[in-house]
Structure 1
């Protein structure tokens, strides 16, 4: 038995890198499938499926149904209004690349939405894992640590999104490709990637901030790494392009509906169940959420204090040695995305999903070489994945924990 295991390990190690990444990804998806099927077996009737749904039906609930609506009917030219005159939840909150891509493939293959939408997510997730290995191998200069980073990437607590009917899988592929292009200084290829990425998930503004900070850091360190004028101009222009793309979808929503704030009002509709209908005030949502979740009868601002402590902890985490080893570019991205979330996102149960673009930090988690540590991390991640699926994906009556 031991000899067979060693032989299998030897055969695995001599495989090309892309084959090893693919095997890791497939194995992780099998684990996720088992967890999803186990939860589906105990799932009761809900707004999207009957009791005990099959895999594909269960994989297309929650926002998957909104993407299906977009794929089939497109976007409304009139915003739905609530009884008290506010904009209600509607399809403008969901960007078009993923649902339109799936729709096109449905027409070509004649397959159903559940099958094609899940297939697109699975394939995009594999692409993301492959590029993520190249990214980690470049910044860490250690192939084994880079490969373990891929293991963590594939079994991460929200990695089941790689096989669910959500746009996150496709967006992650585009994002990791964009980051890889930046660290390799292949700036010209960023333009089409950013253009598609900005219409897949909200990302243009965060990536624009990242590129702006990238220019500043490269200029400040130009004695160690030359930063020619041509590259300075190109990256600066691409940062502006990314900012424009970040504002393009709200502009399109405004143009089609005739309502200047159509997109932001639509997004705010989802948080109205917590704090009512309010205007979007940058950097206020985290404090609003913390005050809602941690309301203190004493009047002491517990929520605000917690947010400040989280900000300090996040900033300090970017300074620890394993994170510094990822290089300036990836740390700048994590910082930029963190600032973006702090500015616009209202924390609730979907926070775990919204943290997915911070995946470069897995390269820091992967660095300890102890076998016990690595096995333990994989087990913890799989257990957390099961917990996330059970808490957020499974539907329990009037569920307040959407993924």
Structure 2
């Protein structure tokens, strides 16, 4: 002993800093989540009687609204071996449209004696907190710690943020996709595989996640082979360090595994029911037509603004997507964030029927909250973004989650 005072080890100091940072992120998350909870409870007091509960429903009745009932049915009944059909022979709505991870995790809490809805809401809230921490650890090195905290605040006060604390799988999907991309961004593609596989069984995000990873791998491979000039790469992704040649095979394995996981659920549905189109026929039963890529946007645009303005709405949406993807604030978040947003937007344009559920399905574009925090720059502008999100949340909770049950034109 040299008599010198005790000095904590480097590992201890790193853990202390990380724990302090986690506490900051969770504090911001908790404040935003508490605000959404208050909005939900106050909105419930103005909600009339519905198929799910009496007027002014209790918290538990409020948690049973909309698709939460389908997840409860999965937990209680599982998935049908014979697909239900209507009198015309078309497949009717059934549980194959809902992934099994949330019901499985909620079912694992059955020992508590709580109802399914309470258990599923608890899973959603824990996953929501985990997603905030993961997203911060992934993107804070790109944006800086202060802007990243604003990113958490912006996302968790956005118009559909309340869905992250109800028995829906959005928060699980956000956590698992964020973990996958964070690990891949840090060169740990093989470690990310379990998270990518679980993501594919939490929400139907396996296809866009696999597409994003494949596009990222192809771009990195093209750069390594000299097919993409260096100045193009640096212009598209100004802050991203190109992956090393040794990481390319691992990234390819992650991408292919994710694609396989995304295809496994339709295969499981096929093997169980005997119908090759069991999953896609179930998914499209909500829209009443067969799966036809891209066409729902052209059809649904007429529902939104009329037949003569519909094509202009589609063009405006495409222009908005292009502007978002070319914004510097998004491109500085690195390759995984950029390719994920690009892949997910392409997925929505190709396969999604743009009803009012579109607002909820934009939540996986979470990196845009961090891009907005960067682009806003000043505290005043960031507060304005948050205020706009809260206004949107008030309208979404009241018009869609609460009163949408009266007029099914508005669905979450």
TM more than 0.5: yes
Q: Which residue of 1 aligns with 2:282?
A: 266
Specify the SS of the correspondent of 1:155: coil
The answer to whether 1:249 aligns with 2:265 is: yes
Specify the SS of the correspondent of 1:188: coil
> 5+ unaligned residues in a row in structure 1: which ranges?
1-12, 273-277
Task: Measure, in 1, the Cα distance between the counterparts of 2:327 and 2:194.
Answer: 34
Q: Which residue of 2 aligns with 1:5?
A: none
**CA distance change for structure 1 residues 229 and 322 in 2, over 3 Å: closer, same or farther?**
closer
Which shows bigger deviation, 360-369 or 215-224? 215-224
1:190 offset after TM fit, Å? 1.7
Specify the SS of the correspondent of 1:259: coil
1:137 to 132, 137, 140: 140
The answer to whether 1:84 aligns with 2:88 is: yes
Which shows bigger deviation, 58-67 or 226-235? 226-235
Task: Measure, in 2, the Cα distance between the counterparts of 1:321 and 1:226.
Answer: 18
- Alignment check: 8 A CA contact 1:366 1:374 kept: yes
Q: Which residue of 1 aligns with 2:201?
A: 199
Q: Which residue of 1 aligns with 2:247?
A: 231
- Alignment check: 8 A CA contact 1:136 1:149 kept: no
1:372 to 365, 372, 380: 380
Q: Which residue of 2 aligns with 1:119?
A: 122
The answer to whether 1:326 aligns with 2:333 is: yes
1:355 to 354, 362, 372: 362
The answer to whether 1:307 aligns with 2:314 is: yes
Specify the SS of the correspondent of 2:109: helix
Specify the SS of the correspondent of 1:401: coil
Q: Which residue of 1 aligns with 2:302?
A: 291
Which shows bigger deviation, 327-336 or 225-234? 225-234
Q: Which residue of 2 aligns with 1:188?
A: 190
Q: Which residue of 1 aligns with 2:408?
A: 399
What is the root-mean-square deviation in Å for CA atoms of aligned residues?
1.9
Q: How does 1:4-43 map to 2 (within 5 A)?
A: 16-43=20-47
* Cα distance per residue 1:109-136 (max 9 Å; x no partner): 2221121111111110000001111122
**CA distance change for structure 1 residues 14 and 241 in 2, over 3 Å: closer, same or farther?**
closer
Task: Measure, in 1, the Cα distance between the counterparts of 2:149 and 2:304.
Answer: 39
In the alignment of these two chains, the number of paired residues is 380
- Alignment check: 8 A CA contact 1:283 1:343 kept: yes
- Alignment check: 8 A CA contact 2:177 2:209 kept: no
**CA distance change for structure 1 residues 74 and 45 in 2, over 3 Å: closer, same or farther?**
same
1:220 offset after TM fit, Å? 3.9
1:62 offset after TM fit, Å? 0.2
1:14 offset after TM fit, Å? 12
Q: Which residue of 1 aligns with 2:11?
A: none
Task: Measure, in 1, the Cα distance between the counterparts of 2:259 and 2:52.
Answer: 36
* Cα distance per residue 1:267-288 (max 9 Å; x no partner): 111112xxxxx32122222112
1:398 offset after TM fit, Å? 4.0
- Alignment check: 8 A CA contact 1:129 1:153 kept: no
The answer to whether 1:383 aligns with 2:391 is: yes
Q: Which residue of 2 aligns with 1:109?
A: 112
Structure-2-length-normalised TM-score: 0.88
Structure-1-length-normalised TM-score: 0.90
